[in-house]
Amino acid sequence: MNQFLQYAENRDLREKLYKGYINRGMNANEYNNSELAQKVANLRITQANLLGYKNFAQYSIEDKMAKTPEEAMNLLTQVWTAAQPKINEEIADMQKLASAEPTPIKLESWDWWYYAEKVRKAKFDLDQEELRPYFQADSVMQGAFWTANQLYGLTFEALSDYPKYHEDVKAYKVSDADGSHVGVLLIDFFPRAGKLGGAWMDNYVPQRIENGKDIRPVVTNVGNYTKPVGDKPALLSLDDVETVFHEFGHGLHGLLSKVTYPSLNMNVPADFVELPSQVMEHWATHPQVLKQYAKHYQTGEVIPDVLIEKMQKAETFNQGFVTGEFVAAALLDMNWHLLETENNLDAAAFEKVAMDNIGLASSIVPRYRSTYFTHIFSSPTGYAAGYYSYLWAEVLDADAFRAFEETGNIFDQKTAQSFRKNILEKGGCEDPMDMYLNFRGAKPTPDALLEGRGLK
């Protein structure tokens, strides 16, 4: 849908598609979910009360890193407030173009993608395809290995005779700085018939201690990137590159694990589990790391500074909108689950009150509306009162990377050792906030996240 909204010249069709999309489950027919959402929310109040909680959010967040709905709300409100000036700036930029049309128009929600794309072209002209030749899959993986070497002293040696389930799979023996065995990493990057889509990390053999013996793990990083064709190697997009580093971060969490019981291996709350992965994305696009691995597949030329600068500038593009529609959805989720008494409004009416209360700009709609917000309504627990956790995890990774930056060296050894010891090795053995405090010496703040998104 976004592609259509981005490029379709016909404004009426943009409006038609957009309204069709945002009214899913809210139309006057048998598929209307409005009352169902209301019913689920009301039943959750009963469930929470039976378990001794005032509301469902309290119950759901108690064993997360945030611990209380107030902590989660505090983060959402801070980010929401910080995003407002940027949202207004983006609206003004787009309205300028919309007003200059032969028939001037007032920007509406179905126009956002279309004019944002025009602003992007004018202000941040970055063609993603220009980057691809510098992102050969093998080199990107080597870049991730190099980063782990600089941070933790790990080395990765290809194993040619390791038993594998498919010829596309590559196996690496991972060793520590002192030569001791860390584990085995399997890389399975290309699509094939019968393989699940997407990218993930998994533990084939989880690390644990058995009869006094440290069983080292076998972990896998799976992706579905474009396969090499003829003599053209697999070339990745910038998104893919970030995904490779992301999954590799989960991989390091599994590889460096140092727990006794397998049940505690990587067993951390949903608002903490993305810290080891997302933090790696900061190295992926750091100029110092890019220059190490991003080399043109034909000429070997290192990625030029002008492309790196364009990439960095593009990072803050449209972030007011992206942040606004996310936080609106997260606040909507919290509104549903902070209810302490049965609510007598159906989804559409409830949502209107909630969004009016936060003063949502008329040209932004929450990323998910109540009647198709499957994260919070389709499973008994899932992300109910937990949609905030994506943002929470980003606060953590931005703040954690800031710890490295503050030393003036993104590979600072003291900080890296502390991250390894206090976060990566610990699995679910300690309270996540304690682990973070031990690493950082302070609670995380959203400052680094806001700066990264150009909101501060």
Q: What's the 3-state SS for 6-40?
A: HHCCCHHHHHHHHHHHHCCCCCCCCCCCHHHHHHH
Give the whole-angstrom CA distance, residue 381 versus residue 373.
13
Q: Are 187 and 221 in contact (CB under 8 A)?
A: yes
Q: Measured from the CB atom, is 41 or 185 closer to Zn ion? A: 185
Min separation Cβ 171 and Zn ion, Å = 22
* Stretch in the footprint of Zn ion (CB under 5 A) among 206-214, 268-276, 377-385, 389-397: 268-276
204 three-state secondary structure: strand
61 three-state secondary structure: helix
Min separation Cβ 249 and Zn ion, Å = 8
* Stretch in the footprint of Zn ion (CB under 5 A) among 108-116, 203-211, 266-274, 329-337: 266-274
> Choosing from 71, 90, 242, 247, which is the catalytic residue?
247
Q: Measured from the CB atom, is 58 or 389 closer to Zn ion? A: 389
Min separation Cβ 397 and Zn ion, Å = 11
Secondary structure (DSSP) of 64-117: SSS-SHHHHHHHHHHHHHHHHHHHHHHHHHHHHHHHTSSS-----GGGHHHHHH
The token pair at 343 is 């609510």
The token pair at 131 is 């980057």
- Residues 338-377, mask of contacts with Zn ion (x by CB under 5 A): ----------------------------------------
* Nearest to 82, CA basis, from 316, 285, 293: 316
Q: Measured from the CB atom, is 140 or 354 closer to Zn ion? A: 140
* Stretch in the footprint of Zn ion (CB under 5 A) among 232-240, 271-279, 294-302, 312-320: 271-279
**Is position 220 an interface residue for Zn ion (rule: CB under 5 A)?**
no
Q: Are 24 and 30 in contact (CB under 8 A)?
A: no
Q: Measured from the CB atom, is 274 or 333 closer to Zn ion? A: 274
Min separation Cβ 199 and Zn ion, Å = 8
**Is position 265 an interface residue for Zn ion (rule: CB under 5 A)?**
no
Strand order in the sheet with 155-158: 155-158, 170-175, 181-188, 218-222, 200-205
Min separation Cβ 277 and Zn ion, Å = 4
**Is position 277 an interface residue for Zn ion (rule: CB under 5 A)?**
yes
* Stretch in the footprint of Zn ion (CB under 5 A) among 186-194, 273-281, 303-311, 337-345: 273-281
Q: Which of residues 290-319 bind Zn ion (CB under 5 A)?
A: none
Indicate if 301 belongs to the active site: no
The token pair at 223 is 């992706």
Binding site for Zn ion (CB under 5 A): 274, 277
* Positions marked active-site: 247
